[in-house]
Amino acid sequence: MFIVNVEGAIYRDGKWLLIRRSKKEEHAGGSLSLVGGKCEIEGVSADILERTLHREIAEEVGIEVTGLKYVNSSSFVTDSGLHVIDIVFLCHPKLGDPYAKSTDEVDAVLWMTTPDILNDTDLPDYLIENIKQANMLLKEDT
């Protein structure tokens, strides 16, 4: 019925980790986004969202993250008509320096500050909203 997708709003030293999605990607190819991906069918399973996020971040940018906290959820329909539920988690790098590990999915990695993201008119509205909400959660923790 739905594809379930998870994304990590990865925060370090005042900046957010974004990826430039590979132009090979069916959905939003070439655009900036958070790191993440689809849940796989596992039958009966525990912590599927968290495990999927850890797997996708390791596969796409080669790092481990810690401190996952729920930010928000939304739904959208891809250009090909697939219905997606998207769940975003705030997290922090644990091990490694991110790089474009999966070149089929990621063309580049970059770090951007909250103001840079919020003021970038080329970024999709959903990405800006996800960063706004993740940033509010960060402020609540301090």
Question: Domains of the chain: which residue ranges?
Answer: 3-141
| Residue whose pair of structure tokens reads 């850890």 in the numeric block | 54
Tell whether domain 3-141 is in CATH 3.40.50.1820. Answer: no
Q: Are 61 and 16 spatial neighbours (Cβ–Cβ below 8 Å)?
A: no
Taking phi over 0 as left and psi of -120 to 50 as alpha, with beta for the rest, 64 belongs to beta
Tens digit of each residue's pLDDT, the chain (142 residues) = 899 999 999 999 999 999 987 666 665 556 799 999 999 988 888 899 999 999 999 999 999 999 999 999 999 998 889 999 999 999 999 978 999 998 888 899 999 999 999 999 999 999 999 999 999 999 887 6
Nearest alpha-carbon partner for 88 in 131, 57, 42: 131
Q: 27, 79 in Cβ contact below 8 A?
A: yes
Q: Which candidate, 20, 27, 14, 12, places its Cα nearest to that of 107?
A: 20
